[in-house]
Structure 1
Amino acid sequence: MSAEAVKTFFSQYGLADKIQEFSISSATVALAAQALHCAPERIAKTLSFKQKKAQKTILIVAAGDAKIDNAKYKAAFSERALMLKPEEVEPIVGHPVGGVCPFAVNAGVEIYLDESLKRFESVYPACGNSNNAIELTITELEKYTSFKQWIDVCKNWA
């Protein structure tokens, strides 16, 4: 189970108890913000993309109010943004839609952090299912995601 994999992942750092479980859904930015009683922009949403040229999948973690800017994405990755289909997400990434996160992902999936997150001291990414999250500082997010690099591929947040 995806959430269990994330819990096991955080257990090795003594952080499993920081994962918050909700009795309501946190599957979207709006629902997660409601469950956490925080501003929607502080939700660290994880978006899944297929890169045809490189034949790989990437995850981009961005602020809840940020939207992918197709021109910036193409400049960064030399191809247009192509999101995974919902039925592809869990088999490829390892987490279901609504719980996709940058922790305990399947091998070969690369993680990028978008600049839209840097304006916050802490953010709330999901933890493998549609009713949980964890609060992490930006430094902790960097530490626990094994991210490849910071990128600037979003708009509507500045």
Structure 2
Amino acid sequence: MSKVTPATRALTAAGVGFTIHAYDYDPEAESIGRQAAAALSEDPARVLKTLMALVDGKSSVCVIVPSDQEVSMKKLAAAVSGKSAQMMKPPEAERVTGYKVGGISPFGQRKQVGTVIEQTALAHDLVYLNGGQRGLQVRMKPTDVRDALKAIVADVIA
């Protein structure tokens, strides 16, 4: 497994501190984020999942939430001044981000889109996010995640 991805290149170029953590990815897992948390022996609240959504049927948005939580589409839409939101279909998420589902990182996406991070993620000293490849996580300060992505911080969990 390569530990250099568009995500790690983007973080390095931005001067953001991070560490790389590989784990055995299980494509059959019911929840990729929870499986990553278990494989890393971490609290699922500290392992964040990266999801792609459409707001008002046209605007792509990246949303980052703890792996043990679900996104409220109503709250997500409101966070970006929209009326409605829905999850992107996997082929569309892959096309927009340049990553495969299960390996979507908020960093180094093909087309950078607006990002919303769940406010409770900022309560941790360090969090994990996908590093741009299945089975690869980056660990970093949540404030660095917010700052590097110019993310909106909001309550978006159901």
Q: TM-score, structure 2 length as denominator?
A: 0.82
Paired with 2:116 and 2:130, the residues of 1 have a C-alpha distance of 16
Paired with 1:26 and 1:119, the residues of 2 have a C-alpha distance of 28
Distance 1:70 1:144, change over 3 A: closer
Does 2:50 match 1:49?
Answer: no
The question of whether the paired residues in 1 share the 8 Å contact of 2:16 and 2:148 is answered with: no
Amino acid at match of 2:67: G
The question of whether the paired residues in 2 share the 8 Å contact of 1:111 and 1:146 is answered with: yes
1:143 Cα deviation after fit: 2.8
Q: Structure 1, residues 37-88: CA drift from partner, whole Å, max 9, x if none?
A: 10111111111001235x2200011112221123323433432221110111
Q: Percent identity?
A: 22
Paired with 2:98 and 2:17, the residues of 1 have a C-alpha distance of 20
| Candidates 73, 88, 94, aligned match of 1:90 | 94
The question of whether the paired residues in 2 share the 8 Å contact of 1:49 and 1:57 is answered with: yes
1:97 Cα deviation after fit: 0.7
Distance 1:80 1:52, change over 3 A: closer
Amino acid at match of 2:76: Y
| Candidates 98, 105, 108, aligned match of 1:101 | 105
| Candidates 75, 78, 84, aligned match of 1:75 | 78
- In structure 2, the partner of 1:129 is 133
Distance 1:26 1:44, change over 3 A: farther
Distance 1:33 1:57, change over 3 A: same
1:14 Cα deviation after fit: 7.1
Moved over 6 A (4+): none
- In structure 2, the partner of 1:10 is 11
1:26 Cα deviation after fit: 6.5
Select the structure that is richer in helix.
1
SS of corresponding position for 2:86? coil
SS of corresponding position for 1:133? strand
Amino acid at match of 1:146: K
1:108 Cα deviation after fit: 4.6
